[in-house]
Structure 1
Amino acid sequence: MKKISTLKLSLIGLGIALNVVGTFTAFSLKLPILLDSIGTVMASFLLGPYYGVITGLCSGIVSGITFDIYSLYFAPVQIFVGFFSALMYNKGFMRGKKKILGVLVVSIFSSFVGAVIAAFVFGGITSSSSSYIVAVLSNMGVNKVLSVFIVQFLMDYFDRFLAVSLVLLVISNIPEKIKYKLVSN
C-alpha cells in the first residue's frame, strides 16, 4: 500500500478545515450560500478526485458531528463535488471562460444529489437559509423535488463558482516547487 505524503495529508487537513470553517460561517450568519466546498475543490485541483472526495466526506462528518447534523446527510454531495471538480479541472474546464461550463457541470450533479436528499429525507427543509425559498415555491404549487433542485442549483452554482475562483487564485500563487512535490508524491 502506498503511503500518503505528509504534504498531501496536510493539504487534506487544510481542506477539511476550510470546509468546516466555511460551513460554520454560512450556518451562523444564515448566508444564502454554503461555503462548504472550498477545501474539497482545492484538494481536487491539487491532488485529484480521490483526495477531493476524502476531503469532502471528512469535512461533512466533522461538521455534522460538531454543529450541523444536516451536514452528515449531505456528505455524499461532496463525492460529486470532489470527483467532478477534479475531472473538469484536469480537462481544462475550470480556467478562463470555460470555468462557467465547468462549474455548471459540477453544480448540476451535486445539486441533483443534494436536492434528492433534501426533498426525500427532509421534505425540502434543512438548516440552510434557502429553505425559505423552497417553502415559498412549494406553496406556489411547484413540485417539491423540482423546487428544491431549482433553489439548490442556484445556490450551489454561485457557491461552487466562488470556491473555484478562490482556489484558482490561491493555486496561481503556490510556488511551482510545491506543486511539483504534490504531483510527484
Structure 2
Amino acid sequence: MRRAFLSVVLLVSAFLVVLALPATAAPYCGLVWGSLDETAGDVWPSPIVDVRTGQHACYDRLVVDVAGDVGGYHVSYGQYLVNPGSGEATDLRGGMVLQITVNNPAHDENYNLTYNPANPLELRNVAGYRTFRQVVSAGTYEGYTTIGLGVRARLPFRVFVLDGPGTSSRLVVDVAHRW
C-alpha cells in the first residue's frame, strides 16, 4: 500500500514538473535554417541563362538556371545591394537585401549575353509574395554575376545546387516566411 502511494505521488509530481516547464517553440514549418552568410565553390565558365521565382507554403524561392555547372556562390544579408566593380549601393524594396553572387557569368566565352533581362531592376514580378519584395540584376563583373533580392526582413534562408536537367544545373535560394 505504501509503495502504491509513493508511486502515485511520484507520478503526480513528475506530471506537475512537466506542466511547469516552459514550452519550446517548434521551428517554423520544421525549417532549421539560419541567416548567416553561405559560401561554396569556385568560378566556373558555364553561363547563367535565366532567373526564376516561386512561392511555397513556408518559403519563397529564387532559382538561377545555369547552362552547365554552378561554379559556386556567396549569399549574405545587407542593407543595400553593392554593385560589382563600382561598389555603388542600390536600395531595394523591403527591410533587408540578400546579395547573391553566383560564380558564373551571364555571357558565353565570346561575351555574347546568355541572360539579358528586359528590366534589370525587376527581374521577376514578386508582388504578392510573402517574403520577396524585389529581384534585381547588378550584372556580371569578372565572371561573377550579382543578384539583389529585396526581402521584408532578415529571415532564415538556405542555398543549394541542383543538377539537371541534362547538363544544366540550378542555384536555389529559399527564404522562409518567418522565423
TM-score (norm 1): 0.25
Of structures 1 and 2, the one with the larger relative CO (CA 8 A, separation 6+) is 2
Of Structure 1 and Structure 2, the greater strand share is in 2
**Rg: which structure is higher?**
2
Of Structure 1 and Structure 2, the greater helix share is in 1
TM-score (norm 2): 0.26
